[in-house]
Structures are given as C-alpha cells and as structure tokens.
Amino acid sequence: MSTIQTTTDEVLRLASEHFKVPLEKLNPDDDFFKKLGINSLQALDLLTRIEQHFKIELPDYELQGVSDFRTLAERIQSRL
Amino acid sequence: MKDFRGETLSWDAEGGVIELVLDRAPCNEIGSATLGELEKFTAALELLQEDCHALIISSPRAEGFCAGADLRELYHRSQALPPAERVAGVRDFVERIHRVGNAIDAAPLATIAAVHGVTFGGGFELALLCDLIVADKMTRFCFPELRLGLIPSFGGIPRLKRDVGNGVVRDLLLTGRSINASKAQAIGLVSQVTGEGDALRVARVTAAQVVKFDRGATTAAKKFIKPIPYAELKQEVDIFCELFTRPAVEAGLRKFVESTDALPYLP
C-alpha cells in the first residue's frame, strides 16, 4: 500500500523524468512551476503522467492553487 | 484543389485519403484566418470526395491538436465593434464555423481525427466532427468555456451528446475539467489510444483499412448511425449568443486576453 512518502517520491521521480530535471534537485516543498520551469499547459502533461502512473483520475480543478509536490502528492494519495 | 498550402492549414489527397493538417502557432487557435481556410477546404471537399474515401485531420504542433477558438481575436474584434453590433459579429463567425462543421460531419467519407496534447474547446469540437478519434496517450480533452461564462459554440454539446451519455456531457461541461485519452476511450469517445507521437500513423493505418470497403456502404452506414443534430446545433448558437452579451463574459475574456499564462482558463 502506498504511503504519502512513497507517493511523494513517485511524483518527484515522474516530474524529474518527464521534464529532465535531476531528481536530487527536487524537494517535496518546491514550487513545481518554478522548479521545473513549466507553465499550465506543461503541468497538464504532468497530470496525465500522474493519472497514467497511479491509475487514477485527478480532476484539474482539484489542483487549483496547488503548486508544491507535497500537496500534489496528498491530492493523489486521497485518490488511491 | 487537390492540394493546398495556406497560412493556418494545408491539405492533400493521395491513395483515396485526404489529409487536412492544422498548423498555426501556438496551438491552432481558430480565428478568422483558420476559418477562412477551413471554408476553402469544405468548398474543395466537393471535388476531393469524388476520388477519396477517407479524411484524416491532424496537426504537427507540439502543444497539441487544437486549443480551440482564438479568444484573443474574438475579444479584440468584438471590442472594435459598437456594443449593439457585437452579438451579430460573433453570431456571423459562429454560424460560419457551423457550416464548415456540418459539411465535414456530413461528408460521404470516413473521417478520422488524429489528436494529441491539448484538444480543448473548439479543438475538441473539431475532433467530434469526425467518425473516429484516434488519440495519442498524452491527449487531454476539455470544454473550458463555462470558466469564461460561455458554452461551447462550434457544435460541441450536441455532438458530444450524440457520442456519449448525457451524464458525461454534464460532467465535462459543468466542471470544465480535462480528461485524458484513456478516460476518453473508456467513455466511448475515442476509438483507439496510441503511444506518444503515434496517432497520425495509426490514423493512416485505419484509413487504409477503411478505403478497402465499398464507398456506398460506408456512406450509408454513416448516414444511418451518425445523424447530424441540426436543431440542437442551432439552439447551441442561440444560447451562446445570448450568453455572450453578459458583462461577466466580457470581463472573463478581458482577463484571458491580459493573461500571459499558456492556458489562462485552467487552474
């Protein structure tokens, strides 16, 4: 069973792989827009990756105001 | 015209298959230039369909298939008109789009949308014109119009209702949320989900299969199973035009136009 820690780790890994940013440079409390240098359109790609990886649906309105990996992982965890 | 290279799109026909390619930066926003060239395409379709059996619509834009209406152009064109003439201006644009859409929807061809990435609003509606949707796994479909105080206006509501359950239509419309290709396939909207960058290839393989069949049978089957909801399409235009006059819409469009975000109507 996934814990919030493993989910956070998976999110960081997915973001690192998709946006080609070294994993060691990403931290749970980072603002992923700033850290990954992405806009809302690219954030949708991350959302798609997350939905595919965790086999969940995460409506984008649930991500309103979410900009750090930790909160994103919490939203995912609530769908697992 | 067997082939055409325009400012926003191009087409050519080979082996019984017409390929219509949208290519306008950043993500094929549909404004007057695209509409004008789509009108050229539907005029040419009369001749093209004599020798062709299938149509594929796709785009090479990295961002996606199509982000929908060019809202910046819509706003600026509307603002340039005296207030009393704004609704008539937008109605003219929307009715022209509907004529294009109806021509593609009714074409005696098997039509395939090969989509990827952002397939939003008018882009989603363009895909819904087609008989089959082949979607790259990274595609996202969305009707964000309600976020701006509007409804889809290029025929999206009646055509989505034609293809999926009413509950799904309400979900997408009322929440404005985007769904991925797998979900779109699960609800019966997408016929095939492909790997990344593979939608056009799969659409071509599908078209090659379709053209093996008797053209008359294809046309008859399509006419039988895919009626065009003309009355609801007209209603959609009327509701859109009614909503368009509200101050909240003007404010929403202004906010959109002034934003520098890539998709300002999303969270």
Per the CB < 8 A criterion, the answer to whether B63 and B116 are in contact is no
Q: What letter would DSSP give residue B102?
A: H
Per the CB < 8 A criterion, the answer to whether B22 and B8 are in contact is yes
CB contacts, 8 Å: A57 with chain B: 179, 183
3-state SS assignment for residue A58: coil
pLDDT under 70 in chain A at which residues? 1
Segment B132-155, tens digit of pLDDT: 999 999 999 999 999 888 999 999
3-state SS assignment for residue B59: coil
Specify the pTM.
Answer: 0.93
pLDDT (tens, 9 = 90+) of chain B, 267 residues, equals 789 999 999 999 999 999 999 999 999 999 999 999 999 999 999 999 988 999 999 999 999 999 999 988 988 888 888 888 888 989 999 999 999 999 999 999 999 999 999 999 999 999 999 999 999 999 999 999 998 889 999 999 999 999 999 999 999 999 999 999 999 999 999 999 999 999 999 999 999 999 999 999 999 999 999 999 999 999 999 999 999 988 888 888 888 888 877 666 665
pLDDT of residue B138: 96
Pairwise CB contact (< 8 Å): B266 & A65: no
Distance CA B265, CA B267 (A): 7
pLDDT of residue B266: 61
Distance CA B30, CA B28 (A): 6
DSSP string, A12-39: HHHHHHHHT--GGG--TTSBHHHHHT--
CB contacts, 8 Å: B261 with chain A: 39-40
Segment B225-239, tens digit of pLDDT: 999 999 999 999 999
Per the CB < 8 A criterion, the answer to whether A35 and A51 are in contact is no
pLDDT of residue B248: 87
Per the CB < 8 A criterion, the answer to whether B58 and B22 are in contact is yes
Per the CB < 8 A criterion, the answer to whether B172 and B143 are in contact is yes
Pairwise CB contact (< 8 Å): B263 & A39: yes
Token pair, residue B109, equals 């061809």
Closest residue in B to A52 (Cα–Cα): B182
pLDDT of residue B225: 94
Rounded to a whole number, what is the distance in Å from the CA of B215 to chain A's nearest CA?
Answer: 38
pLDDT of residue B86: 87
pLDDT of residue A63: 87
Which residues of B have a CB under 8 Å from any CB of A? 63, 117-118, 137-138, 140, 175-180, 182-183, 261-264, 266-267
